Chain A
Amino acid sequence: MSAALVELSDVGFRYPGPAPARRFGLSGLSFSIGAGEILGVIGPNSAGKTTLIRLLTRVLDPTDGRVLVEGVALSEWPRWRLAQRIAVVPQELPPAMPFTVEELVLMGRYPHAPRRFFETSADRAVARESMEATGVLPLAAQPLGALSGGERQRAVLARALAQRPRLLVLDEPTAHLDLRYQAECVGLLRRLNRDEGLTIVLVSHDLNLAAEVSDRLLLLAGGRAVRVGAPAEVLDEALLASVYGCAVVVDENVATGRPVVHVVYPEPLPKGGGNTEVRS
Chain B
Amino acid sequence: MTAEARLARVLIALGLGLTAVVAAALFVGSAGLTPGAVIEVLAGRATADSTERVVVLSLRLPRIAVAAIAGGALAVAGVGFQALTRNPLAEPSVIGVSSGAAFGVVVAQLTGGGAGLGDTFRLVAFGLAGALVAGITVYLVATTQAGFPVPTLLLSGVIVGVFFSAAITVITSLVDINRLGGIIHWLLGNIGPVAPASLLVFAVLAAIGVLLILLRARELNVLALGEESAVQLGVDAERLKRQIFFGAALLTAAVVAFTGPIGFVGLIVPHVLRMLLGSDNRFLVPAAFVGGAIFLLGADTLARNIVAPAELSVGVITSFCGAPFFVYLLRTRYRGGLP
Contacts and interface: CB of A to CB of B under 8 A. Distances in A.
Given A96-B338, A117-B282, A54 B228 contact: yes
A243 interface: no
Given A118-B3, A118-B4, A94 B226 contact: yes
Most buried by A among B3, B222, B234, B279: B234
A96 B86 contact: yes
A239 interface: no
Interface of A: 54, 57-59, 78-84, 86-88, 90, 93-100, 103, 107-108, 110-111, 114, 116-119, 121, 163
B339 interface: yes
B280 A99 contact: yes
Contacts of A94: 86, 147, 224-226, 339
Interface residues of B, number: 29
A108 B232 CA distance: 10
B332 to A, nearest CB: 15
A100 B218 CA distance: 15
30 contacts: A54-B228, A57-B232, A58-B231, A59-B228, A59-B232, A78-B234, A79-B231, A79-B234, A79-B235, A80-B235, A82-B234, A83-B232, A83-B234, A84-B234, A88-B229, A90-B228, A94-B86, A94-B226, A98-B279, A99-B280, A100-B278, A103-B280, A107-B221, A108-B233, A110-B218, A114-B234, A114-B235, A117-B218, A118-B4, A118-B282
B217 interface: yes
Contacts of A59: 228, 231-232
B40 interface: no
Nearest to A104: B225
Contacts of A163: 233
B274 interface: yes
Contact of A110 (B3, B228, B233, B339): B233
A154 B86 CA distance: 23
Contacts of B282: 117-118
